[in-house]
Structure 1
């Protein structure tokens, strides 16, 4: 017998020609149901996830699909059958009033390969759920063999999870139902992918995948030991004593009752927020039996350094820290793995791939874009990990940077995670936004617990600079200011302005320029030089864009900042007298307005309330009460624009749970501009790895090379990318191997050792590319 008989039903094929290692469909459905049920335990929806798992591949009980397994090209929709049956079953056992809840399960089943669809409106790429449920067996769908009723036993009752209302007066009640559908979808996707992967491994003679991370209590002990070592090695300065006080106080709050599950850690720059928040997270997770700590960072430029700090703190358990910002991390092999057999190396990569896709790790470090876009996504790959967010401590670093246009939906998701999914959320910030009900923010967060000791007092003790408003300053005046100081930092709002100012001081001693037009390796080289000159007391005049505010550790005596939001001013002030070695009077932050370079519209809107604070607030304009007043003005002025695309309204007015999942995913984009990467051959390391990419050895992973090239990438807007490609200044690397995955800058004259890649001036780009 070459293939198994069509009288039997299978989910997946195997390696043996006689079909003895094919996976029986009943086994797959039962296994996925059990795995999905386990994943839903964290939010009390085991029955619902189990039912979704049982029915997700029901359409494989058809001759059409079984013929497809045996090599037929016949089309066989195997997802819609389960979606139709689950709706009918819910109505049968619970009554017609529960039809909307049946649809929530149908969304998950119908989309477990293609993604969540719209309920009734037309979407892109896939039919809406209404169209799918209208398909008929024997007409639009393959006929099901009634054998499924003998092999699969459906439950007669379902326990309804005890959801709390989302906002007062149930204003956004539907949000909770929409969120529940996503969580069920996540449980199903993860369970289905794991069972399918394990079947494939078994046919290859491999054991099922297991991550086997250390218990979170072990990590808590390890961090405690690391913090003790740091304290022993630190000098007993006033700042270090205060940092230790903040740490101790926060850890004491971790063991108190959860309450609302919402916390704030309000500590100014330099107060040790990073390790304090991790310590709180691990202590709190152990005390309240939570599963992991998820650390959400606003900027990709600092995620690696934060993850490295955590890995160092974890010592021998460093693999317990997952970075999710690069698909190449999974290719990393620890030293102890590199010398072992290839099968073990392959198992390690499979384990890391599973961890990356499902967030099955005790400590996850990710970006705000990855975290929140996943919560509103319609894609299987992004939604797979959502169930593992339940029962977690979530630390939102620099919470004030959350995009205003999506603030309301983001707040709704935070509230939902805390209310119904057992999460504790920490708003960790040096400039606490006014998002609480007590801040007169309508439908804001309620019962938020502060875990820092007396933020007002801490801010006063850690105050290191004075802020002054210079008013309007021409470029001539700004250049004069730069020349008048030996060590000075000037931050402006766009790359071209930074370059103009730098050109004005280029011949001065210690003149430097930093911009995102430089690759990361280039910026790192410059920062190393800058820090050393500052340390040695040498001349250092730096003109930069706001990238310098994203967690970059530099310490200038004088800082100039172009008008922006008060939170940006606070971040700029964090680069002034950072270590507290100078007197307050000798540490100045000057705010200026440029008549020649208008701020982008978004920043201009934030500058108005900032100016109001500068005019009307007595004392320290960066004190908590001043920042609170600033954010109140910003949020009041924005109003409905805090949900620019009316995402919450679309959810609220949806009837019968026909949620527009695709439309929501399309509208929830934290970054509007589409940026594309270009690899810059900046040094020998970049050139050597580009050569390897063109002539990839058989025993080398492309991911390993791509990881090294990450530090040589410059992200450019799509329009500029197209122009560079058209001019021949950029070329695809090894398209015969990788398609259009990698692009290299070949017109190297466009990359300046001073300013990085020139992509904003089409005339100059054309001229320089032509010379090349």
Structure 2
């Protein structure tokens, strides 16, 4: 089909090239037709592998649900819309007939420069050819007016996708400004020259009314879904997903096709999870699952009366596991699930089982994403999964971590079996397009895929279709965008057949913010009954006496207070919310004569994974008194079991997460003291959870924390959020309405811009997991890789080597504020990283002391 279309439209088609490569000192060209055929092959492959016909049907249903035409016409419109979608890959590069592209980009010397084309670009020209072709299909006299009305705007949307396929998704408005018929526009100039050149067989004859038809439904999203002639909020979201979906499919297909030509290798292998029963069988054969299944057969469910008397936390974990499994099996057709359960109740294990059960019921589900707030939790849960699947290397090879600090995964088996460069190219494609059955990553990475506008963000968007996504601790991010998150996720899940499990110990009822969308499924019918069990509710006694101490003297009082536990063989955790306060207090304890015989450690976000592991292992194994001073990194999901806790107050859900690190096993007596030295509002900007009436200074909040009445807490939080940030949600809907992907990306960033931060690489010698890392050698290798690596390696091999070396570099890199920075002389600078020598001088007792960077030296 693609050959016929191009041959009928482009004269002398075979003279046009799409790509070139060098092989054995010879330049080899790929023809435009060959590249188009490969792109079309991959587009069709991805379309089929992701059950895209079903996705397409759902889009048509929601786009045209209110149109007052009969089903026969709608079906005809669907067929025609699918035809013009499947034509996207055929036209995506047709603009490469631009003679300037052929001459200047590809150095095809039998072309002459033509200034009338203005530049060497091809994507907008491809879009122009595409829209003209599809306009003639849709406006055919055989088609009813109703069909034209349904499809006209989609010609524009699809044309926009082609126009942007080599760049980021910006704003549709920028594109539409280019498409008008005024004499002096770029569009009109291209139209004239194509019609006057001996290149294109068909005259491009847009007329003004056609353009107006395409523009008819732009910016028509209205909050009132019942208004005739206007698109509802939901439909606006669906349209933004539709464009993102097809853009992702096209870019992926183009990448794979180009890679096949460049590497002379087919990359069609399917790497989705097609044998969940095999994975589940291994999982069910673990000792943990055997014990749970035995409990399930013999005791589950126990009565509420018996539940209240349970002292063995494993019984509570088994009860939660079994109830969630039952609820999953009864609601397999639903898309959004909430799992709110106490800290230490086995949520991660429960979520694994829930994921597997969903996939066993719906064989269309092909991937599992486990998404966490921090890289440290990603690594921790990878260890858990590797223990589960310890005896099955095939499964472990199919679990991948996708983040900025983990090297690109290369199959050792593939390297041993095949020394060709396509092994590296396959590994790079796998990473870029998430070609793994099970993926562990962060909220930031996932939200970039869903909301980001850079091409690198959107590449793998299509891979979310037919997947299970477990979102852990979603409340850890700013509540300003909670409403946007849940509203968008619900519609995305509906369109893409995604099952999303949102879980936390403190989970807000996000349905309240979801603007009357369908309710999510609570996987625990009454989670409060588990929180009320003495084993969870009273495993830590709460003490607020230190909140009465003046801020100026609280640090001295803390040291005095700590002394009572120095000979108790207790594990003591102290959390501060400012890194400098934590660091200074740790140094103070180290230098205090009263604490000279006590083990004291300090954990912060500056620590490498190896250092973090060393500290946590030491704490876990300690049998004598040990004090761990920490920042907030200790809160979410860290698997340690302390006896006594001290915490600078912040948000109530943060307090509960902290309590989850105290007496985690419920086998001892735990106590937590709350104090205030730093203001939480200095750290968590614009967070309504810091209102005076809903923090621990308020006695009512103290009671809520003691009784675990988080529903009452979040009711207040959500009421405030809806009142304070309704305007923010309206801005999001306007961005959706305008199809302004750049604004959507900015609006939905989980982490505020870090333009005031710089990266510092500090040369030292470290021992990481028994390996000696020479910081200078690693830095020099990094510089050499940038300066010389591309001369000796393929791009894919270079990217993989770069990921490996940057993974090691993370042990030496620190982010610091530009404000008042006094670096002075430095060893070298590479990109945005400044390398400093004599690294040990920036450390006190082996901990980074960033203050040295802010004084003259």
CA separation of 1:662 and 1:730: change in aligned 2, threshold 3 A: farther
Residues 588-737 of structure 1: matches in 2 within 5 Å? 588-594=671-677, 599-600=682-683, 602=685, 605-607=688-690, 608-611=692-695, 615-616=699-700, 621=705, 626-638=709-721, 639-641=723-725, 644=728, 647-651=731-735, 654=738, 659-674=739-754, 675-680=757-762, 681-684=764-767, 685=771, 687-688=773-774, 690-695=776-781, 701-719=801-819, 723=821, 726-728=823-825, 731-732=828-829
Shift of 1:417: 1.5
- Within the candidate set 529, 537, 540, 1:465 is matched to 540
Q: What does residue 848 of structure 2 align with?
A: 757
Match of 1:13 in 2: 20
Secondary structure (helix, strand or coil) at the match of 1:359 reads coil
Determine the C-alpha separation between the residues in 1 that align with 2:686 and 2:644: 23
Contact 1:37 1:50 in 2 (8 A): no
Residue aligned with 2:172, SS = coil
SS of equivalent to 2:339: strand
Structure 1 CA distance for aligned equivalents of residues 246 and 806 of structure 2:
34
The correspondence for 2:155, drawn from 102, 111, 126, is 102
Q: TM-score, structure 2 length as denominator?
A: 0.75
Q: Please tell me whether the aligned partners of residues 37 and 47 of structure 1 are also in contact (alpha carbons under 8 angstroms).
A: no
Aligned pairs (5 A) from 1:282-297: 282-289=356-363, 290-297=365-372
Query: CA distance change for structure 1 residues 41 and 142 in 2, over 3 Å: closer, same or farther?
Result: farther
Work out whether 1:210 is the aligned partner of 2:299: no
Residue of 76, 81, 99 corresponding to 2:125: 81
CA distance in 2 between counterparts of 1:702 and 1:594 reads 43
Q: Which shifted more, 80-89 or 167-176? A: 167-176
Tell me the distance in 2 between the aligned counterparts of 1:318 and 1:434.
35
**What CA distance in whole angstroms lies between the structure 2 residues aligned with 1:97 and 1:605?**
44
Moved more, 108-117 or 518-527: 518-527
The alpha-carbon deviation at position 233 of structure 1 amounts to 11
Corresponding residue for 2:97? 61
Q: What is aligned with 1:342?
A: 419
In the TM superposition, what is the alpha-carbon distance from 1:427 to its structure 2 partner? 0.9
Quote the Cα distance in structure 2 between the aligned partners of 1:14 and 1:319: 32
- 1:155 is matched with none
Q: How does 1:168-567 map to 2 (within 5 A)?
A: 170-202=232-264, 206-212=265-271, 215-228=274-287, 231=290, 238-289=312-363, 290-314=365-389, 315-316=392-393, 317-326=395-404, 328-330=406-408, 332-334=410-412, 336-337=413-414, 339-343=416-420, 346-437=421-512, 441=513, 443=515, 446-452=518-524, 454-461=526-533, 462-463=536-537, 464-470=539-545, 471-473=547-549, 474-486=554-566, 487=570, 488-506=572-590, 507=592, 508=595, 509-533=598-622, 536=623, 538-567=624-653
User: What is the CA-CA distance between 1:418 and the residue it aligns to?
Assistant: 2.1
Q: Shift of the alpha carbon at 1:390?
A: 1.6
Contact 2:573 2:628 in 1 (8 A): yes
What TM-score comes out, normalization by structure 1 length?
Answer: 0.83
State the distance in 2 between where 1:105 and 1:368 align: 29
Q: Which residue of 2 aligns with 1:34?
A: 44
CA displacement, residues 620-678 of structure 1 (integer Å, 9 cap, x when unaligned)? 62655x21222222232233437748542323553xxxx22223223332111424443
| The 10-residue stretch of structure 1 (135-144 or 101-110) with the greater mean CA deviation from structure 2 | 135-144
Mapped contact 1:490–1:559 kept (Cα < 8 A):
yes
Mapped partners of 1:165, 1:243: distance in 2: 46
The separation in 2 between residues aligned to 1:224 and 1:687, in whole angstroms, is 36
Residues 462-518 of structure 1: CA deviation (Å, up to 9, x unaligned): 332133333233222222222232332111110122133324422312233222233
1:409 Cα deviation after fit: 2.2
SS at match of 2:452: coil
Cα drift, residue 339 of structure 1: 4.5
- Structure 1 CA distance for aligned equivalents of residues 256 and 494 of structure 2: 29
Give 3-state SS (helix, strand or coil) of 2:349's partner: helix
Decide whether the 8 Å contact of 1:9 with 1:60 is kept in 2: yes
> RMSD between aligned alpha carbons?
3.7
Deviation at 1:166, TM superposition (A): 10
SS of 1:727's partner is coil
Q: Relative to structure 1, is the Cα distance of residues 635 and 48 closer, same or farther in structure 2, using a 3 angstrom cutoff? A: farther
- How much does 1:18 deviate? 8.5
Report the equivalent of 2:186: 135
Q: Is the 8 Å Cα contact of residues 166 and 419 (structure 1) preserved in structure 2?
A: no
Alpha-carbon displacement from aligned partner over 1:352-407 (angstroms, at most 9, x marks no partner): 22221112222111110111122122211110111111221111111221322322
Shift of 1:149: 6.6
**SS of the counterpart of 1:378?**
coil
Contact map agreement 1:469 1:592 (CA 8 A) in 2: yes
1:229/1:504 Cα in 2 relative to 1: closer, same or farther (>3 Å)? closer
Matches of 1:531 and 1:15 in 2, distance apart? 57
Name the counterpart of 1:124. Answer: none
> Structure 2 CA distance, aligned partners of 1:596 and 1:20?
63
Does the CA-based 8 Å contact 2:327-2:523 persist in structure 1?
Answer: yes
Q: Relative to structure 1, is the Cα distance of residues 260 and 130 closer, same or farther in structure 2, using a 3 angstrom cutoff?
A: farther
CA–CA distance in structure 2, aligned partners of residues 90 and 5 of structure 1: 22
Greater alpha carbon shift after TM alignment, 407-416 vs 746-755: 746-755
Gaps of 5+ in 2: 1-10, 58-81, 114-118, 139-146, 203-220, 227-231, 296-310, 786-791
1:70 to 1:524, Cα distance in 2 relative to 1, 3 A = same
Change in Cα spacing, 1:514 to 1:59, as seen in structure 2 (3 Å) is: same
Q: Distance in 2 between matches of 1:348 and 1:288?
A: 32
SS of equivalent residue, structure 1 residue 246: helix
Deviates more, 1:110-119 or 1:53-62: 53-62
| 2:659 counterpart of 1:573 | yes
Post-superposition offset of 1:301: 1.8
- Partner-residue secondary structure (3-state), 1:277: helix
SS at match of 2:187: coil
The answer for the alignment partner of 2:788 in structure 1 is none
The answer (yes or no) to whether the contact 1:265–1:452 under 8 Å persists in 2 is yes
Q: Displacement of 1:687 after TM fit?
A: 4.1
Greater shift in the superposed pair: 414-423 or 559-568? 414-423
Cα deviations by residue, 1:74-115 (Å, 9 ceiling, x for unpaired): 542211123234444555514366443333212211110012
Distance (whole Å) between structure 1 residues aligned to residue 819 and residue 460 of structure 2: 33
**Structure 1 residue 273: Cα displacement:** 1.1
SS at match of 1:304: helix
* Matches of 2:463 and 2:415, distance apart in 1: 30
* Structure 2 CA distance for partners of 1:197 and 1:682, relative to 1, 3 Å: same
**Is the CA contact (8 Å cut-off) linking 1:172 and 1:648 kept in structure 2?**
no
Q: Distance in 2 between matches of 1:560 and 1:109?
A: 57
Deviation at 1:271, TM superposition (A): 1.2
Distance 1:309-1:235 versus aligned 2 partners, 3 A rule: same
CA distance in 1, matches of 2:46, 2:89: 6
Deviations 1:284-343 (A, max 9, x none): 022122121111111122212212322343432112212110375225453x45644522
| More deviation, 253-262/9-18 | 9-18
Alpha-carbon shift at residue 750 of structure 1 (Å) = 4.3
Look up the SS of the partner of 2:607 in the other structure: coil
CA distance in 1, matches of 2:292, 2:651: 38
On the 8 A contact 1:563/1:599 being kept in 2, the answer is no
- 2:110 is equivalent to residue 24 of structure 1: no
- Structure 2 distance, partners of 1:756, 1:142, is 66
Mapped to 2, the partners of 1:635 and 1:453 lie a distance apart of 21
Higher alpha-carbon Rg:
2
Distance in 2, Cα, partners of 1:146 & 1:420 = 44
Partner residue, 1:125? none
